[in-house]
């Protein structure tokens, strides 16, 4: 250990988190992810819900599905996008080599970006909840404590998806960065965010059933319907999340090894 220094992983995690706080503070366009898109999503799905509720007898339930769905979806979206774009920020500003020659461990880096991501998540979900309440009198707290385990699973799923994006960027370079946003457009329809997966074409249903998000959203709809929290559904969601997390960690570790072996750092230096 060098003079003047102490070994504190927590110090390094905080340093990374603070760096990303500066990025958000000084790039107003980054606020779009945590303010404008959540607002637009609530307006879009909330208005569809209101329209449907005027057309059909079960419309009020549909409006609740849509607004709860978009709120829970933003848990996945914000946690995924903040971790993915946090990593991409290092590639855009060619900061990757600077970081790789410090004692910072990979897990500390991810923890630092994810830590700041929690603040972005709170902002994004806060905008959704306030907009839904202000425009559509939809009070998310009515759903009670059941939301916490569901949101926790979705939070972890968002991080796991981000690990896959990071792995692909390490392997394929900036060409893979579109996946940071695009990958969620694949996951969203398959997850039954607004509808049960039996509404999907039969061919896609087994794929949907394998996703942890499908079971988490299904549990969310059960709560909206006034049923007790379906722990079995939540258990499947948790189990598949663990499996996905193990695969995601193995994938990003392998891609990092490839990155070091093939000398891909030259892409960013």
Q: Does 15 bind another protein (CB under 8 A)?
A: yes
| Binding span for another protein by CB under 8 A among 23-31, 71-79, 172-180, 196-204 | 23-31
Q: Does 99 bind another protein (CB under 8 A)?
A: yes
Residue entry with tokens 């779009």: 32
Q: Does 23 bind another protein (CB under 8 A)?
A: yes
Tell me if 198 sits within 8 A of 205, measured CB to CB: yes
Candidates 102, 139, 199, 253; binder of another protein (CB under 8 A) is: 102
Q: Which whole-number Å values give the CA distances from 123 to 3, 4, 108, in the listed order?
A: 40, 37, 23
Q: Does 107 bind another protein (CB under 8 A)?
A: no
Name which of 45, 113, 125, 115 is nearest 77 in CA terms: 125
Q: Does 269 bind another protein (CB under 8 A)?
A: yes
Q: Whole-number minimum distance, CB 99 to another protein, in Å?
A: 8
Candidates 32, 54, 105, 242; binder of another protein (CB under 8 A) is: 105
Q: Whole-number minimum distance, CB 106 to another protein, in Å?
A: 10
- Return the number of the residue (44 or 265) whose C-beta is nearest another protein: 265
Candidates 37, 92, 133, 172; binder of another protein (CB under 8 A) is: 92
Q: Does 4 bind another protein (CB under 8 A)?
A: yes
For residue 152, count CB atoms less than 10 angstroms from its CB and return exposed for 0-12, middle for 13-18, buried for 19 or more.
Answer: middle
Site for another protein in 57-76 (CB under 8 A): none
Distance CA 81, CA 158 (A): 8
- Return the number of the residue (35 or 91) whose C-beta is nearest another protein: 91
- Return the number of the residue (186 or 257) whose C-beta is nearest another protein: 257
Q: Which stretches of the chain bind another protein, using CB under 8 A?
A: 1-8, 11-12, 14-16, 18-19, 22-23, 25-27, 89-90, 92-95, 97-105, 257, 260-263, 265-266, 269
């Amino acid at each position: 250990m060098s003079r003047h220094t102490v070994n504190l992983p927590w110090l390094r995690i905080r340093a990374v988190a603070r760096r990303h706080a500066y990025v958000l503070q000084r790039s107003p366009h980054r606020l779009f992810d945590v303010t404008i898109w959540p607002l637009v999503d609530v307006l879009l799905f909330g208005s569809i819900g209101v329209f449907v509720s005027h057309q059909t007898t079960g419309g009020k339930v549909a409006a609740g599905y849509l607004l709860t769905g978009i709120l829970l979806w933003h848990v996945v979206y914000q946690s995924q996008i903040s971790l993915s774009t946090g990593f991409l920020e290092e590639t855009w500003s060619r900061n990757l080599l600077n970081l790789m020659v410090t004692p910072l461990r990979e897990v500390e880096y991810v923890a630092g970006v994810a830590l700041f991501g929690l603040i972005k998540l709170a902002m994004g979900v806060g905008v959704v909840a306030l907009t839904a309440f202000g425009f559509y009198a939809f009070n998310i707290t009515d759903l009670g404590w059941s939301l916490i385990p569901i949101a926790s699973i979705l939070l972890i799923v968002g991080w796991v998806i981000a690990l896959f994006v990071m792995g692909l960027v390490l392997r394929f370079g900036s060409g893979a960065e579109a996946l940071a946003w695009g990958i969620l457009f694949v996951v969203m329809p398959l997850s039954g965010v607004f509808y049960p997966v039996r509404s999907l074409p039969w061919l896609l249903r087994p794929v949907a059933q394998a996703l942890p998000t499908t079971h988490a959203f299904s549990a969310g709809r059960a709560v909206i319907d006034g049923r007790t929290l379906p722990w079995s559904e939540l258990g499947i969601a948790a189990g598949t999340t663990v499996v996905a997390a193990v695969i995601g960690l193995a994938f990003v570790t392998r891609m990092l090894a490839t990155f070091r072996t093939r000398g891909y750092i030259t892409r960013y230096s």
